[in-house]
Chain A
């Protein structure tokens, strides 16, 4: 995970069911709407040093809704 590549994160809105696991493990990377469904914060760019949290969010989503794109 020491990869210097820039990561982008994305929540697939069709898959997200609002488990809020991503928000719990990586609160900086996700925002919730009024129904508790998640989407990526801003344009989804993962700030340097937060890559581990991004992967943690992905691997804790029960709906496989969190995607990580390596630039």
Chain B
């Protein structure tokens, strides 16, 4: 990933920076320290952003849609109005509800179960390509392809277009934090790709998600506007790809670095559901953001109107007040109210899909490859989605 020169952080309580190398390498001790000291940190960077680190405070912000808007869900160096948003993730009540309701049925556990055989085939095709080589990259050769191909299948577009998707997502989520032009180019390319497809699916509908979206109507009977459909498709890509890829990558990284947990899971696959939830808790990949719509106070901290809040579900998930031994990964943890998929009305719509992909990816890998370990230098993503980007592994 492109490295940019940044002013080193002076004091994490008043000058935090999630693009600082220390945060990218290992953010957990930073959050633990802030939880003791602040517990809501602030930075003047990115035009002013608050950082709650306790579960209760993250929850309070997520629930308070009166004072905290989802209009901007990412913090960036420059403030630009985004074109059209990606409803419902960028919607507030009351508009949020309709935009969300329409997307829920295609993502219920039952609907997602129908995609599982396809996901297993994808995983095995990927494993076929490297299992005899003795080594592979768990992020580059495995994790990053799985959600791209599943989403392509869901949208009814060629799986080979995955490289395009990844490039747009990188433009929007990573490089776009500091490079507005790059972000806009990604968004325009995305729109140019999907607009003709929407036309085509109106004329020749299939059982894919684009066909499903273009036939939806508003309560007054009028069809969904193009920009609404485009926004939701954009959301599928932005929210459904590098998040899950990062989650799968973190699971594989944990299993590569914790042979005891890996062997326990191989010996007793019935532990898989609690293990996956625990990986989601401990390595939650997704951090969201909110804009302070109206000044308010939480836990003694004033939130100034117009500034942003980094809504770190990963930090909430490591709060020892909520989770005993929060920094320990316990694959049979019984009580786990983790917030990896958010809390409140913006609960991740794709959570059932993500869980299925994580489970299938780990199961298929362990079935074919019960022994593997780290084979080189691991690097982690920067920005608000956390996961390994280089994960060299040796088999056996």
- CB-CB under 8 A from B105, the residues of chain A are 34-36
- CB-CB under 8 A from A56, the residues of chain B are 334-335
Q: Mark B80-122, 1 if CB is under 8 A from A, else 0.
A: 0000000000000000000001001101111000000000000
Interface segment, one of A4-12, A41-49, A59-67 = A59-67
Q: Mark B325-364, 1 if CB is under 8 A from A, else 0.
A: 0000000001111110101110100011000000000000
Shortest distance between the CB of B331 and any CB in chain A (Å): 15
Residue on B nearest A27 in the bound complex, by CB? B109
Count B interface residues, CB 8 Å: 22
Q: Find out whether the CB atom of B352 lies under 8 angstroms from the CB atom of A59.
A: no
Q: What CA separation (Å) do A23 and B282 show in the bound complex?
A: 22
Q: Find out whether the CB atom of B338 lies under 8 angstroms from the CB atom of A62.
A: yes
Q: Find out whether the CB atom of B343 lies under 8 angstroms from the CB atom of A63.
A: yes
Shortest distance between the CB of B340 and any CB in chain A (Å): 9
Q: What CA separation (Å) do A66 and B101 show in the bound complex?
A: 22
Q: How many CB-defined contacts (below 8 Å) exist between A and B? A: 52
Q: Find out whether the CB atom of B109 lies under 8 angstroms from the CB atom of A35.
A: no
Q: Find out whether the CB atom of A60 lies under 8 angstroms from the CB atom of B108.
A: no
Query: Which residues of chain A from 17 to 53 have a CB within 8 Å of any chain B CB?
Result: 17-21, 23-25, 32, 34-36
Q: Check B324 for interface membership: any CB of A closer than 8 A.
A: no
Q: What CA separation (Å) do A64 and B108 show in the bound complex?
A: 20
Partner of A62, one of B107, B108, B337, B345: B337
Q: Find out whether the CB atom of B335 lies under 8 angstroms from the CB atom of A59.
A: yes
- CB-CB under 8 A from B341, the residues of chain A are 19, 62
Q: Find out whether the CB atom of B339 lies under 8 angstroms from the CB atom of A36.
A: no
In this complex, the member of B110, B273, B334 whose beta carbon has the largest number of chain A beta carbons within 10 angstroms is: B334
- CB-CB under 8 A from A17, the residues of chain B are 343-345, 347
Q: Find out whether the CB atom of B334 lies under 8 angstroms from the CB atom of A59.
A: yes
Question: Given A36-B104, A36-B352, A63-B343, do A20 and B109 touch, yes or no (CB 8 Å)?
Answer: yes
Q: What CA separation (Å) do A52 and B343 show in the bound complex?
A: 25
Q: Find out whether the CB atom of A34 lies under 8 angstroms from the CB atom of B108.
A: yes
- CB-CB under 8 A from B352, the residues of chain A are 20, 36
Partner of B108, one of A21, A32, A59, A63: A32
Question: Given A18-B104, A34-B108, do A60 and B337 touch, yes or no (CB 8 Å)?
Answer: yes
- CB-CB under 8 A from A25, the residues of chain B are 273
Q: Find out whether the CB atom of B343 lies under 8 angstroms from the CB atom of A62.
A: yes
Shortest distance between the CB of B276 and any CB in chain A (Å): 10
Shortest distance between the CB of B51 and any CB in chain A (Å): 21
Residue on B nearest A63 in the bound complex, by CB? B343
Q: Mark B9-52, 1 if CB is under 8 A from A, else 0.
A: 00000000000000000000000000000000000000000000
Q: Find out whether the CB atom of A62 lies under 8 angstroms from the CB atom of B339.
A: yes
Query: Which residues of chain B from 133 to 171 have a CB within 8 Å of any chain A CB?
Result: none
Q: Find out whether the CB atom of B347 lies under 8 angstroms from the CB atom of A19.
A: yes
Q: Mark B292-336, 1 if CB is under 8 A from A, else 0.
A: 000000000000000000000000000000000000000000111
Q: What CA separation (Å) do A64 and B337 show in the bound complex?
A: 9
Q: Find out whether the CB atom of A36 lies under 8 angstroms from the CB atom of B108.
A: yes
Q: Find out whether the CB atom of A59 lies under 8 angstroms from the CB atom of B337.
A: yes
Residue on A nearest B333 in the bound complex, by CB? A60
- CB-CB under 8 A from B337, the residues of chain A are 59-62, 64
Q: Find out whether the CB atom of B109 lies under 8 angstroms from the CB atom of A32.
A: yes
Q: What CA separation (Å) do A35 and B107 show in the bound complex?
A: 8
Q: Find out whether the CB atom of A24 lies under 8 angstroms from the CB atom of B108.
A: no
- CB-CB under 8 A from B339, the residues of chain A are 62
13 interchain pairs, CB-CB under 8 A: A17-B343, A17-B345, A17-B347, A34-B104, A35-B104, A35-B108, A56-B335, A60-B335, A62-B337, A62-B343, A62-B347, A63-B344, A63-B347
Known: A36-B105, A62-B339. 19 other contacts (CB 8 A): A17-B347, A18-B347, A19-B341, A19-B347, A19-B351, A20-B109, A24-B273, A32-B108, A32-B110, A34-B104, A35-B101, A35-B104, A36-B107, A36-B108, A36-B352, A60-B277, A61-B337, A62-B341, A62-B347
> Which residues of B approach A to under 8 Å, CB–CB?
101, 104-105, 107-110, 273, 277, 334-339, 341, 343-345, 347, 351-352
> Which residues of A approach B to under 8 Å, CB–CB?
17-21, 23-25, 32, 34-36, 56, 59-64
6 closest Cβ contacts across the A-B interface?
A36-B108, A17-B347, A59-B335, A35-B104, A62-B337, A34-B105
